[in-house]
Chain A
Amino acid sequence: MPEQQLRLADGSGTGLRVAIIGAGMGGLSLALALRERGMAARVFEQAPELTEIGAAIALSANAIREFARLGLADDLARMSTVPTELIYRHWRDGSRIAAHPVRKDDWYVERFGAPYFGIHRADVQKILSAALGAEHLHLGCRLVNIVEQPDSVVLEFANGRVEHADLVVGADGVRSTVRRWVTGADDAVYSGTSAFRGIVPVENLPSLPDPQAIQFWMGPDAHLLHYAIGPGGEAVNFFAVVATPPIWMDEGSVVGVQEEVPVASFRGWHPAVTEMIKAASSPVRWGLFTVRPLLHWYRGRVVILGDAAHGMLPHHGQGANTTIEDAFALAALLAEAKPDDLEPAFARFQKMRRARTRKIQRSSSVTSSLLHLPDGPAVLARNEKVTRVPEEFAWIHEYDVQQALRAAGAVPAGNAVQA
C-alpha cells in the first residue's frame, strides 16, 4: 500500500478533532465514512457495551451499497437472512393479500443493486466497530453537557470525563441529548402508537406460514411485522404495533407492562400472531416517537444526523437506513469543509438530506394508518395499494448516496480505501 494511503487510513488527513455522540448505526457509520475520506473521529457511547439484546434491524440496498464499497458486505451477509418474499396478510384469517419476491428470483438485488438483510442490531455494531477499531470507541460515556467556546466545543460526560472537540456530531437517536442543545427544545413527538418487540426461535413458531419471509399482518388499530434474522434465519424478529396509548406519560420510551398485556392486545388475531407474541419473554411497551420537522440540524460547531434529526416511524424499515445514508453524505461534505468555517458544510448537508428524509418520515406515518384500518371499504383500496408496493416505494431503495452527492456538486467516494 502506498505511503499516502496509509497516512489517510489512519485518519490524520485533517487536524479537525471530531467527536461523535452515539455508537449506533449513525455514529459507527459516520466514523467509517470519515475514515474513507481521510478523517479521524472519536465515538462516545453511553452504554458500557455494544450489545443490545433482543433488537434487530433490516438493512436495505440504499445503506448496504455504502458498506459494500468499504468491503463490509460479506461480513454483514454472513450474519444475515435475506427474506424470501414480502407478504401482506389479513390479521384474522391469515390470507395472503399481496406477495412480492425479495430473495426469490434474486428480484431485490437485481432491481436495486444491493441486497436486503435481516440482522441482529448488535451484529451490525460488532462488524462496524471491529472495522473501526476499539481504540476509536469510548464506551460508558453519557453526554450531559455541551459548552461552546470561541474556537471549540467542550463535552462533559456523566463519568466526569471532559473532552474538547472542533466538531461534534449528535448521532444519539430519537431522544437525542445533542438535539436539545441544537434546537433548545425536546422535539420528539409521541405518535399515538406503541410496540411490543421480540426475537423468537423459528422452532417455537409452528403456526407461522412462510417464516423466512418479511410479513405484515394488518388489522384494526394494530399490525405485526416480522422477518427472519441471523446466519440461517433461525430466529424471527417481530414488531407488534398498537394504536394506543393515546398519550405517553413516561419520561423514557420504554415501560414495563403486565405480562398478559402484549398478547391481550392481539386477542382474536391469527394463531401465528398470538403464538409469536406469547413466545417472547419481556413484557415491555416501546413508545414510538418521531421528531417534528426541524428547520436547522446544526448550531455552531454541532450537527445532528439520523433519528436525532428526523426520527421516523419504522414502517418502511428506514430509520437505520436513512441514518446510514446521512452518515456517508455528511462525511463527504465535511471532507470538503473549511475547518474554521463548518456551517456551510452543515447547511449543504441538511439541504441535501432534509427533503428525502422528510418524504420517508411522512410516508411512514401514512403507512401506519394504512396498516391499522378496520375491516371495511377502506381496506379494499389499501389491499390494492399493497400490491404495488415494490414499484411505489422503489425510490426509497434505489437511492444512491454517492450519486446524490455528485448531483449536489460534491465529490463522490472512490474505492481507494479498499486498494
Chain B
Amino acid sequence: MQQDTVLAGLTEVLGDVAGVDPADVTPEARFGDDLGIDSLMLVEVVVAAEDRFGLVIADDDWSRFVTAGDVIAYLERAGTIAPAGPVRADATKN
C-alpha cells in the first residue's frame, strides 16, 4: 500500500513537472531512456518530489537515481508515509 502511494505521488510529480504520461511510470522506468528526463529536468523532479513528500533528498543520493523505483525505495527508506493530499489537491495544470 505504501509503495503504491509513493508511486502515485511520484507519478503526479512527473506529470506536473515533466509532462510524463502516468502510464509510463513504473518502478522499472529509467529516467533517461524511458521517461526522457535529462539531468537538469531530474533536478526539477527532485525538488518537486521534496515539496510533495516533505523531505530533502541530498544531492549525493538523487544523483544515483536511475529508475523511478530508486526514488520510491529512497522515499520509503526515508520513512515517508502516505503523502498529504491537500498540498497538491487544488493545483491547476497548464
- B-contacting residues of A (Cβ < 8 Å)? 292-295, 351, 354-355, 358-359, 362, 365, 395
* Chain A residues whose CB sits within 8 angstroms of the CB of B51 once the complex forms: 295, 351
**Contact between chains at A355 and B56 (CB < 8 Å):** no
Report whether B55 and A295 are in contact in the complex, using a CB–CB cutoff of 8 Å.
yes
The interface of chain B, by Cβ under 8 A from chain A, is 40, 43-44, 46-48, 50-51, 54-59, 63
In chain B, what residue has the closest Cβ to A350?
A: B51
Check if B58 sits within 8 Å of A355, measured CB to CB: no
How many angstroms from the CA of A293 to the CA of B59 in the assembled complex? 8
- Would you list 14 pairs from A and B whose C-beta atoms are within 8 A, ordered by A residue? A293-B50, A295-B50, A295-B51, A295-B54, A295-B56, A355-B43, A355-B44, A355-B47, A355-B48, A358-B43, A359-B40, A359-B43, A362-B63, A365-B59
A-side contacts of B63, CB under 8 Å: 362
Q: Please, which residues of chain B bring their CB within 8 A of the CB of A295?
A: 50-51, 54-56
Q: Residue of B at shortest CB range from A290?
A: B59
A111 to B50, CA, bound (A): 34
Q: Which residues of A contact B56 (CB under 8 A)?
A: 292-295
Are B44 and A362 in contact, with the CB atoms below 8 A? no
Closest chain A CB from B83 CB (angstroms) = 14
CB distance from B48 to the nearest CB of A (A): 7
> With a CB–CB cut-off of 8 A, which chain B residues contact A362?
43, 59, 63
Q: B64 CB to closest chain A CB, in angstroms?
A: 13
Q: How far is the CB of B92 from chain A (nearest CB, A)?
A: 9
Q: Is there an interface contact between B43 and A293, defined as CB atoms closer than 8 Å? A: no
Q: Which of A292, A358, A365, A395 contacts B47 (CB 8 A)?
A: A358
Cα distance A355–B46 in the bound complex, in angstroms? 8
Interchain CA distance A351-B43 in the complex, whole Å: 13
Q: Hey, which chain A residues are within 8 Å of B57, CB to CB?
A: 293
**CA A358 to CA B55, docked complex, whole Å:** 15
A407 nearest CB neighbor, chain B only: B94
Given A293-B58, A362-B59, 6 other A-B residues pairs in contact with their CB atoms under 8 A: A292-B56, A293-B56, A293-B57, A293-B59, A294-B56, A295-B56
The distance in angstroms between the C-alpha atoms of A128 and B56, with both chains bound, is: 35
- Given the complex, which residues of B lie within 8 Å of A395, measured CB to CB? 40
Bound Cα distance from A341 to B36, whole angstroms: 39
A358–B50 alpha-carbon span in the complex (Å): 12
**Which of A292, A359, A365 has the most CB atoms of chain B within a 10 A radius of its CB?**
A359
> How far is A365 from B63 in the complex, measured between Cα atoms in Å?
12
Asked whether B59 lies within 8 Å of A354 as measured between CB atoms, the reply is no
Given contacts A294-B56, A295-B55, contact A354 B47 (CB under 8 A): yes
Query: Taking the nearest CB of chain A, how far is it from the CB of B50, in angstroms?
Result: 6
Shortest beta-carbon distance from A310 to chain B in Å: 11
With both chains docked as a complex, state the minimum distance between the C-beta of B55 and any C-beta of chain A, in angstroms. Answer: 7
A366 CB, nearest partner CB in chain B, Å: 9
Distance in angstroms from A311 CB to nearest chain B CB is: 14
Considering the complex of A and B, which 6 residue pairs feature the smallest CB-CB distances, nearest first? A355-B47, A355-B44, A359-B43, A293-B56, A354-B47, A295-B56
